[in-house]
Chain A
Amino acid sequence: MSTKKLTELSMLTAAALIVFVVELRFPDILPIPGVKLGLANIFTVYAVYRFRASEVFLMVLTRVILGAIFCSNLSALMYSLAGAMLCLAGMLPLHRIIPAKYLWLCSIIGAMLHNTGQILAAMAIMRSPAVLPFYPILLTAGCIAGAFTGICAQLILKRRLPSDKK
């Protein structure tokens, strides 16, 4: 990994973390665990279309772990990790099928997979399906939030740095 790439990835991770921490201060939209905009995912979706799979994986892993430490909520690490990994597992192969023009679609699917991962982790920890009724609510919210973050990422992707021009 070149220094330039390392710096770029670190910058993106740092920016994602700032957005993540700021978003924590927003009041909850719905009193349902897991419903949030997920603004930090703008950077994830952007990175999926910009970097190689292993680089995106490292970036997301760093962000999730540092995010959990920064908001001192290590018990939530399991849910976000399961969500983020499932989301990546879906988005990385999908970005080959879905062109950048339909990036928002990839983002929506990623958000849905994120919610699926969260619910699966919650069911595994609770060892009961009591959280399952929250799944459709999370999916609905995830679709809307995913579309929003996807459109944001799409706007960023258009604005390449001058040095990128080949």
Chain B
Amino acid sequence: MTKGVKICLAAVGVIFAVSLVLTVKFLSPTGRDASKEDVWVEVVQDNKVICRLNLADESDRTFRVTAPDGGYNDITISEGKICVSDADCPDHTCVKNGYLRYDYLPVICLPHKLVIRFCEGGGSK
């Protein structure tokens, strides 16, 4: 084993360990519970906050967010949870993502530049 291989092996080991720790941290579900407290989420499109919603106050409903290029994402709120229920993007990753449940990982629709994430309280509807 040459020196170059050892350096590469060590670098890979360190990066893998760090990302594994961060993965476990990021994949821990949120402690926010809309049935007990205010839970604010924001819907962001193309870096602009479209709306901020308090999931504790919202009734079950579905609304459509239209992308500038004509595509759409249907966002559904049900029982204090929010998800993208339908979209016409090519990959449908946002729909497969399911409900927003991680503090660090937002629901993202890359083709439509849409982000749904938790945010701190306040703001208007």
Contacts and interface: CB of A to CB of B under 8 A. Distances in A.
Given A133-B26, A143-B16, A98 B90 contact: no
A133 B104 contact: yes
A134 B22 CA distance: 10
A133 B105 contact: yes
Nearest to A112: B15
A140 B8 contact: no
A25 to B, nearest CB: 14
A139 B2 CA distance: 25
Nearest to A71: B90
B56 to A, nearest CB: 24
Interface in A99-148: 99, 102, 105-106, 108-109, 112, 122, 125-128, 130-131, 133-137, 139-140, 143
Contact of B108 (A79, A131, A140): A131
Interface in B83-125: 90-91, 93, 96-98, 104-106, 108, 110-111, 113, 115, 117
Contacts of A102: 1, 5, 8-9
B52 to A, nearest CB: 16
Interface of A is mostly: helix
Given A73-B90, A136-B23, A128 B115 contact: yes
B115 A130 contact: yes
A130 B19 contact: no
A143 B98 contact: no
A31 B66 CA distance: 23
A133 B97 CA distance: 15
Contact of B5 (A28, A105, A108, A143): A105
Interface in A1-34: 28, 31-33
A54 interface: no
Given A94-B8, A98-B4, A136 B93 contact: no
A156 interface: no
A50 B12 CA distance: 24
A102 B9 CA distance: 10
Contacts of A94: 8
Contacts of A127: 46-47
Interface string B13-44: 00110111011001100000000000000001
5 contacts: A108-B12, A133-B105, A137-B23, A139-B15, A140-B23
Which 5 residue pairs of A and B lie closest in terms of their CB atoms, listed nearest first?
A: A136-B22, A97-B4, A139-B19, A136-B19, A31-B96
